[in-house]
Structure 1
Amino acid sequence: MSDPSATPDLQRSRGIDVLKERSYGGFFVACALITVLTTIAIFLTLLSDATAFFSAYPISDFLFGTTWSPNPRGQHGYVFGILPLVIGMFTVTAMAALVALPIGTLTAIYLSEYASPRVRSILKPMLEILAGIPTVVYGYFALVYVTPALQATLFPSLKTFNALSASLMIGIMIIPMVSSISEDAMSAVPDELRQAGYGLGATKYEVSTQVVLPAALSGIVSSYILAISRAIGETMILAVAMGSQATFPPVHRGVAGVPYIHPGDVLLEPGMTITTAMVNIAGGDLTGGSLPYDSMFALGLVLFVATFILNVISDLIAERYREVY
Structure 2
Amino acid sequence: MTVALITFICAALAFVFGRSKAVRAAQSIGGIRALHSLPNYYGWYAMWIVLLPIMVFGLFWAISEPYALRTLTLSYFDLQYPIQQTGRSEDLIFAQIVASSSRDLSNVDYFQALTRSGEYYRNLVRSGNSVFYITSFSILAGAISFGLYKIAPDFRARNQVEKVVRFLLALSSTIAVLTTLGIVLSVLFESVRFFSQIPITEFLFGTHWSPQIAIRADQQGASGAFGAVPLFAGTLLITVIAMVVAAPIGLFSAIYLAEYAPEKVRTYVKPMMEVLAGIPTVVYGFIAALTIAPAIRSFAESLGSTSVSSESALAAGLVMGVMIIPFVSSLSDDVIRAVPQSIRDASLAMGATRSETIKKVVLPAALPGIVGGLLLAVSRAIGETMIVVMAAGLTANLTANPLESVTTITVQIVTLLVGDQEFDSAKTLAAFALGLTLFVVTLLLNVVALRIVKKYREQYE
For the criterion TM > 0.5, the same-fold answer is: yes
1:297 to 2:443 alignment: no
Q: CA deviation at 1:16?
A: 2.4
Q: CA deviation at 1:150?
A: 1.9
Name the counterpart of 1:52.
193
Q: CA deviation at 1:154?
A: 4.5
Q: 1:113 to 1:274 in 2, by over 3 A?
A: same
1:1-325 to 2 correspondence within 5 Å?
Answer: 15-72=156-213, 77-154=223-300, 156=302, 157=306, 158-249=308-399, 263-264=400-401, 267-322=402-457
Q: Kindly indicate whether the alpha-carbon contact (under 8 Å) linking 2:207 and 2:227 is maintained by their aligned counterparts in 1.
A: yes
Unaligned segments of structure 1, at least 5 residues: 1-9, 250-262
Alignment-mate amino acid for residue 282 of structure 2 = V
Cα distance in 2 for residues equivalent to 1:85 and 1:313: 23
Instruction: Write out per-residue CA displacement over residues 29-74 of structure 1, whole angstroms, 9 at most, x where no aligned residue.
Output: 2222222112111110111000001001111111111111111366
Alignment-mate amino acid for residue 290 of structure 2 = V
Q: 1:213 to 1:154 in 2, by over 3 A?
A: farther
Q: Kindly indicate whether the alpha-carbon contact (under 8 Å) linking 2:311 and 2:392 is maintained by their aligned counterparts in 1.
A: yes
Q: CA deviation at 1:174?
A: 1.3
Query: Is the radius of gyration larger for structure 1 or structure 2?
Result: 2
Cα distance in 2 for residues equivalent to 1:41 and 1:296: 17
Aligned to 2:407, the other structure's residue is in SS state coil
Q: Kindly indicate whether the alpha-carbon contact (under 8 Å) linking 1:229 and 1:310 is maintained by their aligned counterparts in 2.
A: no
Aligned length: 301
Structure with higher RCO (Cα < 8 A, 6+ apart): 1
Aligned to 1:153, the other structure's residue is in SS state helix
Alignment-mate amino acid for residue 234 of structure 1 = E
Cα distance in 2 for residues equivalent to 1:271 and 1:248: 8
Q: CA deviation at 1:26?
A: 2.2
Q: Kindly indicate whether the alpha-carbon contact (under 8 Å) linking 2:257 and 2:333 is maintained by their aligned counterparts in 1.
A: yes
Q: Kindly indicate whether the alpha-carbon contact (under 8 Å) linking 1:222 and 1:315 is maintained by their aligned counterparts in 2.
A: no
Aligned to 2:329, the other structure's residue is in SS state helix
Q: 1:79 to 1:117 in 2, by over 3 A?
A: same
Cα distance in 2 for residues equivalent to 1:188 and 1:83: 42
Instruction: Write out per-residue CA displacement over residues 178-204 of structure 1, whole angstroms, 9 at most, x where no aligned residue.
Output: 111111111111111111222223222
Flag the structure with higher helix content: 2
Cα distance in 1 for residues equivalent to 2:456 and 2:163: 35
Aligned-pair Cα RMSD in Å: 2.2
Q: CA deviation at 1:77?
A: 4.0
Q: CA deviation at 1:153?
A: 2.9
Q: 1:29 to 1:277 in 2, by over 3 A?
A: same
Alignment-mate amino acid for residue 117 of structure 1 = E
Aligned to 1:288, the other structure's residue is in SS state coil
When the two structures are superposed, what TM-score results if normalisation uses the length of structure 2?
0.62
When the two structures are superposed, what TM-score results if normalisation uses the length of structure 1?
0.86
Alignment-mate amino acid for residue 343 of structure 2 = L
Q: CA deviation at 1:285?
A: 4.3
Cα distance in 2 for residues equivalent to 1:40 and 1:305: 14
Name the counterpart of 1:259.
none
Q: Give % identity.
A: 44
